[in-house]
């Protein structure tokens, strides 16, 4: 199961979060832990370079996309490899919505569409859609114009 998907800015402020099967009293712990993990390891990291960690028998994959940090937490069948597929689908969708790796401002400007994409890709803790065209169609994004 995918336990959490969090987007945060470089200051550690949460921009979007989705928890699945995580009790409310544990969510603060996860927010703090993930932001601290990112602040220690994402400085100087290349855009979309994947980082892997484990904590309390769960797997964590995280990266930066533009000015935004993305964290995915999974357990059981969602090991590091499966989470890498999830993070790839989400980063591709965010870049499609924003037209490029986003700044924090662009990310917030496109907040609604990013939430729609996220909800189409991860549904109730499971990876639902990974096909870019299907996600675009579901949220009504026009395909990119070929030059």
CA-to-CA distance for 147 and 144, rounded, in angstroms?
Answer: 9
Fold entry, domain 2-139: Beta-Lactamase (3.30.450)
What's the pTM value of the predicted model, to 2 decimals?
0.86
The H or E element containing residue 18 is strand 14-19
pLDDT tens digits along 3-60: 999 999 988 899 999 999 999 999 999 999 999 998 888 888 888 899 999 988 899 9
The least confident of 32-36, 45-49, 123-127, 138-142 is: 138-142
Q: Is 47 exposed, middle or buried (0-12, 13-18, 19+ CB in 10 A)?
A: exposed
Q: DSSP state, 131?
A: -
pLDDT tens digits along 69-85: 999 999 999 999 999 99
């Amino acid at each position: 199961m995918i336990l959490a998907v969090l987007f945060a800015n470089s200051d550690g402020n949460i921009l979007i979060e989705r928890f699945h099967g995580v009790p409310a009293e544990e969510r603060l712990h996860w927010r703090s832990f993930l932001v601290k993990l990112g602040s220690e390891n994402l400085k100087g990291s290349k855009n979309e370079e994947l980082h892997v960690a484990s904590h309390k028998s769960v797997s964590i994959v995280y990266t930066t996309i533009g000015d935004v940090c993305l964290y995915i937490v999974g357990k059981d069948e969602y090991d590091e490899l499966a989470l890498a597929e999830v993070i790839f689908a989400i980063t591709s969708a965010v870049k499609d919505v924003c037209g490029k790796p986003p700044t924090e401002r662009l990310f917030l400007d496109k907040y609604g569409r990013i939430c729609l994409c996220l909800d189409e890709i991860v549904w109730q803790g499971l990876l639902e859609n990974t096909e870019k065209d299907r996600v675009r169609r579901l949220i009504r994004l026009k395909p990119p114009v070929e030059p």
